[in-house]
């Protein structure tokens, strides 16, 4: 047998062994650092997660900006007399 064929057989044997161990730990409910589901994530799934997080952050920042503007307007409205006195001095 050629060396390349032996390497391929060894690779397949190692791959099956790793998959078997992963399946056993998944069935046992053992919390391993890398679970099978996490190992199968594709790049587009990571991009989608990041996009959703960014959208939530954008909504949060927009909400915060609107609240800040409303707070400024409310403060000016409730202190209208003080604002008029300050503006009359100029």
0.85 exceeded by pTM:
no
Q: What is the pLDDT of residue 37?
A: 60
The burial class, CB within 10 Å (0-12 / 13-18 / 19+), for 22 is middle
Q: What is the pLDDT of residue 29?
A: 59
As a whole number of angstroms, the distance between CA 20 and CA 26 comes to 10
Q: What is the pLDDT of residue 75?
A: 95
Q: What is the pLDDT of residue 71?
A: 97
Contact 36, 26 (CB under 8 A): yes
3-state helix, strand, coil in the chain (%, to 5): 85, 0, 15
Low-confidence ranges of the chain (pLDDT < 50): none
Contact 22, 37 (CB under 8 A): no
Helix 43-78 to helix 80-89 angle (10° resolution) is 70
Q: What is the pLDDT of residue 16?
A: 80
């Amino acid at each position: 047998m050629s060396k390349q064929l032996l390497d391929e057989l060894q690779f397949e044997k190692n791959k099956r062994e790793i998959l078997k161990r992963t399946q056993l730990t998944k069935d046992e409910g053992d919390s391993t650092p890398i679970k099978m589901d996490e190992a199968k994530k594709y790049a587009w799934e990571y991009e989608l997660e990041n996009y959703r997080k960014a959208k939530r952050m954008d909504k949060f920042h927009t909400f915060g900006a609107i609240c800040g503007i409303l707070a400024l307007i409310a403060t000016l409205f409730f202190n209208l007399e003080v604002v008029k006195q300050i503006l009359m001095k100029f």
